[in-house]
Structure 1
Amino acid sequence: MTEIPDTWCPITLPHVETVDGRLCFLGHAVDADAALLARCDGGHPLAAFTPAERETLGRWRRLGLLLLAPPTAPADPLAPVVVSPHPDDAALALGGTVARRGGRFLDVFSVETWTKDPYYAARPELTRRLLLAEETVAARVLGARVELLGFVDAADRELRREAFFTDPAWSDGFAREEPELFDAVTARLATALAGAGLVCAPLGVGGHVDHLACREAVLALARGGRLGGARLVFYEDQPYALFSSAEETARKLGARLAEAGLGDLHPELWPVDGTAALTKSEALGAYRIQVRRGIVRRIHRHGTRLADGSRGPAAERVWRLRG
C-alpha cells in the first residue's frame, strides 16, 4: 500500500458479518482475523499497525473487505450541498470534488431495498440497513456529512415498481404524476437547503424518476426565489451518463429553462487532483450491493477522459444555471 500515506485509517466494510458463528463478506464465508478486522474502525491510522498487520490489511483491501480513509479535515465554508436522489449518487458523480472541499449529502429517497444480488434481494431489511451503512462509510472517506430525508425509492413505490425510468429525461412530468410526493420532497429540500452557498442537483441523465423529482424540486425552489443567493449547478448522473448523453439532456433542459426565464445551462469541468481521485476511488469501494466494480472502473475512466488536457488527472462535469 505504498501509494497510501500511513496517516490514512482502514475501515472494515459493513458487509462483513458473523453468520452461524462464521465470518462472512457479501454472504460468503471468509477466512479473516476478526480481532484485527474489529480494529479497522476508521479510528486507527496505518502507522498504528505492525508491518505484518499492514501486509494483511493490504491483502484485505485488494479483496474488498476494507478501504482506507484520509484524516478528517476542516470543511470548506463554501463546500457544496449535493442533492443526492439515493445514497451513492452524490459520491458517484461528485466524490472527487467533495474529497477536495468537503460537503453535505442530502439523500432524498433514502429508504430503498433494490438490488440484483440474490443474497441481498432475499433479505430486504438487511439490504436497506447496509445501503445506508455503505453511504456512511463512503461519506467518512470523502469528509462529507449525510442527511437522510427518508423518502421511499421508486423501486419500492407501488406506482413506480415496474417502471422507474421515464422519457424524455428533460421532462417536468413527475410533479404531475406524483404531486403529493413532489410537494413533500420540495418542502423538505427547502428546509435542508436554507443557507447553502452552492447547491448541486442531478441533471437527470437517463430519466430515473427519483433523479427527475430532485431536479424539478430544486428548480421549483429556484423559480420561487427560495434558494437565496445560492449558486446552482447540475451534475451529470452516474452511472447513467455512461450510457445516455449528458450533453443532450443539458441542451434540451437548458432550452426549457431559458424559455421559462430561468436562464441557460453552461458546462464546467471541476478538476480533481491526484489525492482527491484516490480518495474517491476508496470511497466508491464502499458501494457493493447495487454498484458493480466494472461500473466504478468506467466512472474513473470517464473522469480521466474529461480531464484530458486540463489541470489534473481527473475531472467531474456540471452545468451551471446562468440566470
Structure 2
Amino acid sequence: MTEIPDTWCPTVLPHVETVDGRLRFMGRQVDVPGPVPDEDAVLLSHCDGSRPLDGFTAADRERIGLWRRHGLLLMAPPRTAGHAVPEPPVIVSPHPDDAALALGGTVARQGGRFLDVFSVETWTRDPYYGRRPATTQRLLLAEEAVAARVLGARVELLGFVDAADRDLRRDRFFADPAWSDGFAREEPELFDAVTERLAALLDGAGLVYAPLGVGGHVDHLACREAVLELARGGGLGGARVAFYEDQPYSLFSAAEETAKRLGARLADAGLGELRPRLLPVDETAALTKREALGAYRIQVRKGIIQRIRRHDMRLVQGAQGAAAPASPAAERVWLMRS
C-alpha cells in the first residue's frame, strides 16, 4: 500500500467532539489514553487540512498518528496540487457521497464539480444518528465537504429532499427495472424542478457524468432521466454525456445489465448507444480516493469502501487488450454516442 507523503495534511473528521475533557467520535467515547488536555484541543483545531504533516513537531505527529489509528482524521493532499485537465467534469450526484464513491479516483486526477441534487437527507442505520436527524443532516454535508476537499472538487448543493424523507417514497425508494423511466415521472413536479435546476447548472459544461441507475434508487433514476431529458431537448449544448457505475449498488446488481437495457431504450428513442470505458486510476489517485471515502461514516460502512476498492482493481484485471488501462485500478463509465 502506498505510503502517505509528509506533505499531506491531517484533516479531523466532523464527527469528533470533546465532552467533559474526553474525545467522542460518532457519539461514542474513544479509547485514547488519558483525558484530552487543552493542548490536544488546540492540536485538533490545527488539523484542518491546511497544514502539512511535516509542519508539526515530532510529538504532535505522534499524537496525530494515534488519532489516525483511531479513525478520527484522514490525510488530504496539499491544496496547491493541480489536476490534469483544464476543464474538469461536472458530476451529477444524487446525494452527497455518490460522486466520490463512483468517480473519486477520476476526480482526484482531473478535478470535478459535484452537483449534489437530493442533498437534504437524514437516512442512517446508526441508532445514535437515527435519533438526531438535524445533526445527521448537518454531518452528512460536512462529510461531503471533507471528501471534496481531499479530492480537490467543488460542491454545489441543490437542496432537494432525499427519497427516504419524502412521504411518497419513504418505504419504497427502489424501482424495478432500473432502466425504466416510469418511477422518475411519478413525482412530475419534483422531476421538472430537478431538470430545470440542472439545465442552468450544466450550461456550458464540457463533460457531464450522470448516474447509470444501477440498483434502481429512484433519486438516481431521476437524476439520470433529467440529464437525458436535457440531452433529448438540446439543453446540454455540445456537452459530452457519460453514465457512471453507481456505487455501492453495482456490488450487488449487474451494471452491465442496466447499461445494456438502458442502451437499447436510448437507441430506440434515437439517442444513440452506450459504450463502456474504463477510466484509469493511478496509485496516487487510488490513495486519494481511499482517504476521501474515509470521510463518509454515517451511511457508508468500512467494508463497503474496501469492496469498492477491490472492485476498481478487478476492472483492470478483467480488461483485455487496448481496453486495459495501464494502472492498478479503474472506474467504469458508459459514453452516450449518437
TM tier, shorter chain? over 0.9
Alpha-carbon distance in 2 for matches of 1:290, 1:234: 23
Q: State the partner residue of 1:52.
A: 59
Give the fraction of aligned pairs with identical amino acids, expressed as a percent.
76
Alpha-carbon distance in 2 for matches of 1:157, 1:56: 44
1:307 match: secondary structure: helix
Q: Any stretches of 5+ residues in structure 2 without a counterpart?
A: 318-323
Contact 1:23 1:34 in 2 (8 A): no
1:9-44, CA deviations, whole angstroms, 9 ceiling, x for partnerless residues?
110000002345543111112245322211101111
1:44-83 alignment to 2 at 5 Å? Answer: 44-72=51-79, 73-75=81-83, 76-83=85-92
Contact 2:210 2:227 in 1 (8 A): yes
Q: CA deviation at 1:56?
A: 2.2
Aligned letter for 2:47?
C
Contact 2:2 2:287 in 1 (8 A): no
1:139-218 alignment to 2 at 5 Å? Answer: 139-218=148-227
Q: CA deviation at 1:5?
A: 1.2
Alpha-carbon distance in 1 for matches of 2:259, 2:163: 23
Alpha-carbon distance in 2 for matches of 1:170, 1:99: 29
Contact 1:111 1:152 in 2 (8 A): yes
Length, aligned pairs only: 323
1:41 match: secondary structure: coil
1:278-297 alignment to 2 at 5 Å? Answer: 278-297=287-306
Aligned letter for 2:122?
T
Alpha-carbon distance in 2 for matches of 1:2, 1:316: 19
Q: State the partner residue of 1:241.
A: 250
Aligned letter for 2:252?
F
User: Does residue 259 of structure 2 align to residue 250 of structure 1?
Assistant: yes
User: Does residue 334 of structure 2 align to residue 319 of structure 1?
Assistant: yes
1:87-112, CA deviations, whole angstroms, 9 ceiling, x for partnerless residues?
00000000000000101000000000
1:60-139 alignment to 2 at 5 Å? Answer: 60-72=67-79, 73-75=81-83, 76-139=85-148
Contact 1:274 1:313 in 2 (8 A): yes
Contact 1:204 1:212 in 2 (8 A): yes
Alpha-carbon distance in 2 for matches of 1:322, 1:118: 45
Alpha-carbon distance in 2 for matches of 1:21, 1:111: 32
| TM-score normalised to structure 2 length | 0.93
Q: State the partner residue of 1:24.
A: 24
Q: Any stretches of 5+ residues in structure 1 without a counterpart?
A: none
Distance 1:118 1:101, change over 3 A: same
Contact 2:7 2:53 in 1 (8 A): yes
Q: Over the residues paired in the alignment, what is the CA RMSD in angstroms?
A: 1.3
Aligned letter for 1:12?
V
Q: State the partner residue of 1:3.
A: 3
